[in-house]
Amino acid sequence: MSEATDAVAADRALKARHRAMWAMGDYPSVASHVIPEAGAQLVKECGVQRGDSVLDIAAGAGNAAIPAALAGADVVACDLTPELLEIGRQVAAVRGVGLDWQEADAEHLPFADGEFDIVMSCFGIMFAPHHQAAADEMVRVCRPGGTIGMSNWTPQGFIGRMFAAMKPYAPPPPPGASPPPLWGDEEHVYELLGDRVTDVEARRRTVRVDAFPQPGSFRTFFKTCYGPTIAVYRSLGEDSDRAAALDRELDELAEEHTRDGVMEWEFLLLTAHRTA
């Protein structure tokens, strides 16, 4: 095979692993029970209005896409993992709102240049392994003058530190892949978007999490529901000592961030307009 063919095959294999990882557990429960207001907050910050054409990248089960549709926008929710999209369809049907659900890779979006008024992502695009490719696609499909908005966990916040704690226990990342929490660093995102955007507003916010008041409850929930955490534990196989060590690290991290049964998880909320 040629070098180009090898690269395509490697990318397909990588995306298949990502797809399988996010199909593990129950991510919709994370979105709906742990951070239920995050999607609606991003929709508000993006100024979504009736009649806007909106793309939600790495939409999962629609925690931002569904609020955008409820605001009257014409919404496309795309994600790499069809299992999450199917759950989103069911939730949208219960809530009585229609939107278009499409399986798509954030790094290779199947949409036309400038197709959408608003392009957003709520804790989603940050998990695309090749940050520049995903950022390029996000800008490309937004119309000139349109809005780009995203919420991403910061490296210094709780989720960023959780990924740092799991890293020594996980298999090495594939060549060219970047850590997801880098999307929560303002300078990194500025470099990704470059001079293709203007009116950039980056604000560090926190989400209040009161779902884990008991010691060990965060770790137990994420080991059951959160794909990246499940994947790291599975990679340890029968190594019970390393699994126990990771248990301790996650419990200590959660305890450090819990006050009176409440955690504060920091994220970066960024909005911008595509240059004309």
For 162-219, the pLDDT digits (tens) are 999 999 999 999 888 999 999 999 999 999 999 999 999 999 999 999 999 988 999 9
Parent domain of 93: 3-274
Task: Note the pLDDT of residue 1.
Answer: 53
Domain count within the chain:
1
Task: State yes or no: pLDDT of 3 exceeds 70.
Answer: no
What CATH number does residue 120 fall under? 3.40.50.150
187-196: long-range contacts (C-beta < 8 A, 24 or more apart)? Answer: 188/131, 189/135, 189/150, 189/152, 189/268, 189/270, 192/131, 192/132, 192/135, 193/135, 193/139, 193/148, 193/272, 195/275, 196/139, 196/274, 196/275
- Given a cut of 80, is residue 248 above it in pLDDT? yes
pLDDT tens digit sequence for 176-186: 899 999 999 99
Digit-coded pLDDT (tens) for 89-125: 999 999 999 999 999 999 999 999 999 999 999 999 9
